[in-house]
Structure 1
Amino acid sequence: MSGADDRRLLLLHAHPDDETIMTGGTIARYLAEGVDVRVVTFTLGEEGEVIGDEWSRLIADGGADQLGGYRIAELTRALSALTPDGRAPLRPRFLGGAGRWRDSGMAGTPSANHPRALAQGPFDAVVAALVDEIVAFDPQVIVTYDNAGTYGHPDHKTVHEASVAAVPIARERSGRDYVVYESVTEHSALVAGLAAGAGRVPDGWRMPADGELPSYPDDEVTTEIDVAAFGARKAAGLAAHATQVIVAASGTEYALSNNILQPIFGHEHFIQRSPEFAPGEGRGTDLFAPVTRAVVSGATGGAAG
C-alpha cells in the first residue's frame, strides 16, 4: 500500500445501531487514520423496541410503522459522531437502497413472515446486491458477523450467510482477495467490563445473568483493535440511537430496551476468517495487517484467501 488513503474498509451490519454497538470504536479509529470506511446496513430496523414514550407510536406492531425512517436519522447522527472533526460525516448506506429489505424481527414472530423480511429472502437477490456493493467499493478488508449471528437474530445470520456466499463471487469478478473478519466479543473483556460496571448500575438497570451476553473464548479471538481513544465518540454514537440505546452517565456502559448493563469496550475484537489466521503470528492489532504483509511479500491483489 502506498498510504492510508489507499485503504478501504467495508463493514456489514443488519440494523441501525449494530454498527456502533459492535464496531463503533473501530469505525472512528480508521476514519481518524484517513481510511475510506463504508458501513452498509441491510435493513432499517423497523422491528426495534422503542425506549421511552416520545417515539413509541412509531413502532411496527400496532403503531404507525414509521420507526425505520426515523432510525435512518439516528444512524446518520451516529455516523457523524464517529467521524473526526473537519472531515465530511460518514453517510448511511443501505444494501439495495433504503427500504429494500425489512427487519425480520426475532424468529417465530409475525414480522418474520413479512414479504420483504431480510431473512425470508430471496437470498440470491441479497447476495447479488452485496456482490455489487463489494465490487464497486473494492475494499481490502470486510467485517461481518459470526455464524451465530452474534446473538441468534435471523437478520444477523443472514448478513453472515450472505457474506460467505458473496465474497467468493466478488473475488472472482474483481480479481481481489479480501481479508474477512467476524466481529465478536472477547470473554475476558466482557467479564472485566461487567466487573468494572457492577458498582455503578443505574436505577432500573440490572447486571446480566451468567452466559446471558454472548462472547468468545479468548483463544479464538485473532485480532484486537485498541479504540480507547475513541470511547467518547463511541458513547456519542450510541446515544444517537436513542430509540434503542441508553448510555449511562459514566459513558462507559449502555443498555438496550431490556435494561441489561453492557460495557463500552476500550478494545474491539475480531476473528480473522480469510485468509486463514496463523496463530504463530500472535494476536493482530490492525485489520489491515494481512494486506500489508501480502504487499511486502510481493503478492498482488491483496491477501490470499
Structure 2
Amino acid sequence: MGTGRQGASPCDRGKEVTVMTIGDMAGFGTLLGIWAHPDDEVHLSAGLMASARDAGQRVVCVTATLGEHGTSDPGQWPPARLAEVRAAELSASLAVIGVSEHHQLGLPDGGCADQPFDAVVDKLAAIIDEVRPDTIVTFGPDGFTGHSDHQTVSHWATEARSRTAPAARLLYATTTAEQIDAWQHVYDRLNVFLADGLPLRIPSSTVDVQLRLGEDLADRKLAALRAQASQTADLIAMLGEDTMRRWCCSTESFIDAESAATNATWGTWRPPGNP
C-alpha cells in the first residue's frame, strides 16, 4: 500500500506514520467511528475500517442522524422516506467493508447543535464504555467540511472520550495540502467545504496516520460508496468512476487529537432557514 515507513506501528505517536500492511492494524485495536450522517464514515474511513476488519479486529460505527434532509428534491424524497432509504444504504455499505456493529442515535439531520450537549455525550459515553475502543475516529473540530453537524459530533466524541476512555487514541480525519493541490479542480466543482479556513492543508509529513489504499481496497471503498446511491450516484456519474476512485478512494489521512489545532474559530455552515 504505497510508500512510507514499512512496518511502522500506528501507535507510534511520532509523525509520518503510514499504515502499510494488515499486520500494522494490530496497533489500532478495537476501532470505534463516530459520525454525523450515513456516508461520512465511508468517505473518510472506509479503508481504515476494512483493513481493521480484515485483520480480525472489532469495528463499531456510530451515526448521529439518518441524513433525512440530504436531498435537493424534498418533494420526491420527504424526510421519513429518505431516512428509511439511507438507513438501508448504510447497512449495505458497512457490509461491503465487513462492519456489522452499528449504533444509530436517531437525532435530527441538521439539528445536532441544538441537542442537549451532556445528554448526547452521556449516550456516546455509554457506547464507549460498552465497546472499550482502543482507537476512536471522528471529525476534527473543523468538521472536515464545516458542516455544523460534523463540528458538533466532533465536540461530542472528544468530550465522551475524555470522560470515559482518556487512554483511547482519538484520531481526527483530515485533508493534506498534497491532496488538496492534486484535486483542487474537483473541489472547485463540488463546493464541498462550507466554512472559512477550510479545507485544512496539513502537510503529509505531519499527519499521524496516512493510509494509502491499494487497488483492491480502493475498489471495496468505491463499492461501499456506491451502496449509498442516494448520495453518491450523481457524484460518481458526474466525475466518472476512475476519477472517483483516484480522488476519494486512494488515501485516508488522520491526525491525533492532541496534534490538531483546537484554538481556531471555524465558520459554521447551517442549511437555509436555520438561524
Give TM-score scaled by structure 1 length. Answer: 0.66
Q: Percent identity?
A: 29
Match of 2:254 in 1: 270
* Amino acid of the structure 2 residue aligned with 1:26: L
Match of 1:215 in 2: 200
Which of 27, 33, 37 in structure 1 is aligned with 2:55?
Answer: 33
Matches within 5 A, 1:135-154: 135-154=129-148
Quote how far apart the aligned CAs of 1:145 are. Answer: 0.9
Which of 47, 65, 68 in structure 2 is aligned with 1:43?
Answer: 65
Instruction: State how far apart, in whole Å, the 2-side matches of 1:245 and 1:43 are.
Output: 18
Q: Is residue 227 of structure 1 aligned with residue 213 of structure 2? A: yes
* Amino acid of the structure 1 residue aligned with 2:201: Y
Quote how far apart the aligned CAs of 1:210 are. Answer: 11
* Amino acid of the structure 2 residue aligned with 1:29: S
Quote how far apart the aligned CAs of 1:67 are. Answer: 1.1
Per-residue CA deviations over 1:121-168 (Å, capped at 9, x if unaligned) read: 111111000100111000100011111111121110111111221112
Match of 1:66 in 2: 81
* Amino acid of the structure 2 residue aligned with 1:76: S
Deviating beyond 6 angstroms after TM superposition, the runs of 4 or more aligned structure 1 residues are: 209-213
Quote how far apart the aligned CAs of 1:75 are. Answer: 0.2
Q: Is residue 177 of structure 1 aligned with residue 167 of structure 2? A: yes
Match of 1:258 in 2: none
Structure 1: 5+ residue runs without aligned partners? 84-88, 105-116, 199-204, 255-260, 278-305
SS of the residue corresponding to residue 15 of structure 1 reads: coil
Quote how far apart the aligned CAs of 1:170 are. Answer: 0.3
Match of 1:57 in 2: 76
Q: Is residue 162 of structure 1 aligned with residue 143 of structure 2? A: no
CA distance change for structure 1 residues 19 and 232 in 2, over 3 Å: closer, same or farther?
same
Q: Is residue 192 of structure 1 aligned with residue 192 of structure 2? A: no
Give TM-score scaled by structure 2 length. Answer: 0.73
SS of the residue corresponding to residue 268 of structure 1 reads: strand
Instruction: State how far apart, in whole Å, the 2-side matches of 1:93 and 1:140 are.
Output: 18
Instruction: State how far apart, in whole Å, the 1-side matches of 2:192 and 2:26 are.
Output: 42
Instruction: State how far apart, in whole Å, the 2-side matches of 1:184 and 1:211 are.
Output: 12
Match of 2:108 in 1: 102
Quote how far apart the aligned CAs of 1:26 are. Answer: 1.3
Instruction: State how far apart, in whole Å, the 1-side matches of 2:28 and 2:250 are.
Output: 26
Quote how far apart the aligned CAs of 1:253 are. Answer: 3.4
Quote how far apart the aligned CAs of 1:262 are. Answer: 8.7
Output the aligned Cα RMSD.
3.2
SS of the residue corresponding to residue 263 of structure 1 reads: helix
SS of the residue corresponding to residue 255 of structure 2 reads: strand
Task: Tell me, yes or no, if the aligned pair for 2:31 and 2:136 is still in contact at 8 Å.
Answer: yes
Task: Tell me, yes or no, if the aligned pair for 1:194 and 1:263 is still in contact at 8 Å.
Answer: no
Instruction: State how far apart, in whole Å, the 2-side matches of 1:187 and 1:148 are.
Output: 16
Instruction: State how far apart, in whole Å, the 2-side matches of 1:187 and 1:29 are.
Output: 25
Per-residue CA deviations over 1:259-303 (Å, capped at 9, x if unaligned) read: xx99224120001124x69xxxxxxxxxxxxxxxxxxxxxxxxxx
Structure 2: 5+ residue runs without aligned partners? 1-10, 12-24, 261-275
The alignment of Structure 1 onto Structure 2 pairs a total of residues equal to 229
Q: Is residue 242 of structure 1 aligned with residue 257 of structure 2? A: no
Task: Tell me, yes or no, if the aligned pair for 2:28 and 2:134 is still in contact at 8 Å.
Answer: no
Q: Is residue 90 of structure 1 aligned with residue 74 of structure 2? A: no
CA distance change for structure 1 residues 11 and 121 in 2, over 3 Å: closer, same or farther?
same
Q: Is residue 12 of structure 1 aligned with residue 34 of structure 2? A: yes
SS of the residue corresponding to residue 56 of structure 2 reads: coil
Quote how far apart the aligned CAs of 1:70 are. Answer: 1.4
Q: Which has the higher helix share?
A: 2
Task: Tell me, yes or no, if the aligned pair for 1:144 and 1:182 is still in contact at 8 Å.
Answer: yes
Q: Which has the higher contact order (CA 8 A, sep 6+)?
A: 2
Per-residue CA deviations over 1:85-105 (Å, capped at 9, x if unaligned) read: xxxx5243213xxx2x1111x
CA distance change for structure 1 residues 137 and 151 in 2, over 3 Å: closer, same or farther?
same
